[in-house]
């Protein structure tokens, strides 16, 4: 990775770390299902406008729309709703830490559902470290306060697992030659259609007071900056530096979310949450493998 690649990585970390802050602002004033529908609708419109500007057709054959619908459920509808609901009850920084378990779930899912991404001893150790970090954060809540922070934290873990399954499911589109931008635009559009009746039936948004400008701004930032532009930047980073390097963004998102939540939302995390983050970071480093390989290659000093 050169300096431009690192710059893209850091910008993406700021954008996606900010997403948890924006969610925390939005769901204080807008019901979760309505917030998700607005986010997906605005993001889909932004992606369609971007593709029209580039004069790139959507190019999704009829045969792939069933797979697109499932991808939208796994990658947008389910995790967006779960994170939106959970951040009504827990800090945005904590949600971002639990979201960092996505690559850990990813290696587990890939091991069982693919033939070319098997668990190695180092990756297995990384998975155990990651789950140890999750147990450190969630375990006390489940044992002492299941109706409080325990369920929202489990919702974040479920959302992260959904992201991991979606990543494996999305591999099929590359094999059949569908561009990532087309897949992204298709899944966001489908998600907006799915969420519309759910938001109308469950939330009945017309009965709620009009959200303040801060909530509208947070939703617009989530849709256009964190979702539409974030995906475009992420795919550019993958093209320039590869998927493995792009995975490093997962390690950089929680510090941004924790800082923004503490400065602007008055959120505070317990010491065990930071210890859990440290274990998850070690697990991700083990799964990535490059740090451990560099340490093994370092020449020993003469005694």
Give whole-number Cα distances, 189 to 85, 96, 210, 218, 239, in Å: 22, 25, 25, 20, 24
CB burial of 133-164 (b: ≥16 within 10 Å; e: otherwise) equals: bbebbbeebeeeeeeebbbbbbbbbbbbbbbb
Q: Give the confidence band of 295 by pLDDT, cuts at 50, 70, 90.
A: low
For tokens 């580039």, the residue is: 54
What are the extents of the domains in the chain? Answer: 3-297
| Neighbour tally for 70: CB within 10 Å | 15
Q: State the pTM of this model.
A: 0.88
**In the predicted structure, residue 181 carries a pLDDT above the cut 70:** yes
Q: What's the pLDDT at 235? A: 78
Q: How far from the centroid of its chain's Cα atoms is residue 114's Cα?
A: 21
Report the pLDDT value the prediction gives residue 236, as an integer from 0 to 100: 79
What DSSP string runs through 206-252?
Answer: GGSPPPPHHHHHHHHIIIIIIIIIHHHHHHHHHHHH-HHHHTTHHHH
Helix (H, G, I), strand (E, B) or coil at 94: helix
* 249-273 pLDDT per residue, tens: 777 889 889 988 988 888 888 888 8
What digits encode the pLDDT tens for the residues 131-179?
888 888 776 655 555 556 688 989 999 999 999 899 888 888 878 888 8
Question: Could you tell me how far CA 54 lies from the centroid of its own chain?
Answer: 26
């Amino acid at each position: 990775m050169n300096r431009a690649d690192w710059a893209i990585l850091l910008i993406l970390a700021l954008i996606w770390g900010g997403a948890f802050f924006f969610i925390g602002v939005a769901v204080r004033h807008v019901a979760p299902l309505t917030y998700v529908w607005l986010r997906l609708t605005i993001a889909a419109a932004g992606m369609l406008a971007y593709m029209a500007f580039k004069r790139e057709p959507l190019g999704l054959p009829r045969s792939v729309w069933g797979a697109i619908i499932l991808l939208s459920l796994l990658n947008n509808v389910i995790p967006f709703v779960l994170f939106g609901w959970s951040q009504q009850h827990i800090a945005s920084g904590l949600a971002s830490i639990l979201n960092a378990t996505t690559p850990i779930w990813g290696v587990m899912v890939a091991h069982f559902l693919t033939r070319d991404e098997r668990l190695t001893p180092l990756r297995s150790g990384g998975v155990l470290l990651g789950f140890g970090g999750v147990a450190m954060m969630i375990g006390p809540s489940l044992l002492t306060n299941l109706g409080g922070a325990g369920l929202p934290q489990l919702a974040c873990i479920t959302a992260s697992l959904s992201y991991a399954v979606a990543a494996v499911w999305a591999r099929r589109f590359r094999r059949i030659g569908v561009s990532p931008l087309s897949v992204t635009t298709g899944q966001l559009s489908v998600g907006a259609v799915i969420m519309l009746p759910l938001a109308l039936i469950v939330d009945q948004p017309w009965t709620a007071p009009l959200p303040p400008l801060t909530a509208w701004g947070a939703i617009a930032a989530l849709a256009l900056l964190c979702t539409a532009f974030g995906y475009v930047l992420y795919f550019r980073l993958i093209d320039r530096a590869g998927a493995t390097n792009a995975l490093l963004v997962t390690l950089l998102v929680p510090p941004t979310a924790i800082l923004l939540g503490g400065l602007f939302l008055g959120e505070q995390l317990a010491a065990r949450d930071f210890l859990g983050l440290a274990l998850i970071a070690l697990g991700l480093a083990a799964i990535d493998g490059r740090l451990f390989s560099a340490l093994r290659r370092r020449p020993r000093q003469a005694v």
